[in-house]
Amino acid sequence: MRFGTKFCISLFVLGALIALVQMWFVVMPVDIFFKVEMTLGIVFVVTLVLTFFAREAAETKRLRDGQDL
């Protein structure tokens, strides 16, 4: 797996762990919790989109070069 995919999986798992810990033990105030979760979500989506575009660009380049017909 590429770095972007591993990073997205890590962000997802981190967000889930933070949510579970916050649900069982009040570790941080609710407003801070939502800010952290929203930040993780935004970084997740941006990383996912950039990874997708990078993979599509590499695949298009490979097809143009005639290496993958």
Residue at 44 is within a domain: yes
pTM above 0.85, yes or no: no
Number of compact structural domains in the chain: 1
Q: Would the CA dihedral through 33, 36, 41, 42 be positive or negative?
A: positive
- Other C-beta atoms lying within 10 Å of the C-beta of residue 18: 16
Dump pLDDT digits (tens) for 9-64: 999 999 999 999 999 999 999 999 999 999 999 999 999 999 999 999 988 888 88
Residue at 34 is within a domain: yes
Containing domain of residue 50, as a range? 3-64
Residue at 69 is within a domain: no
Asked if 61 contacts 54 with a C-beta cutoff of 8 angstroms, the reply is no
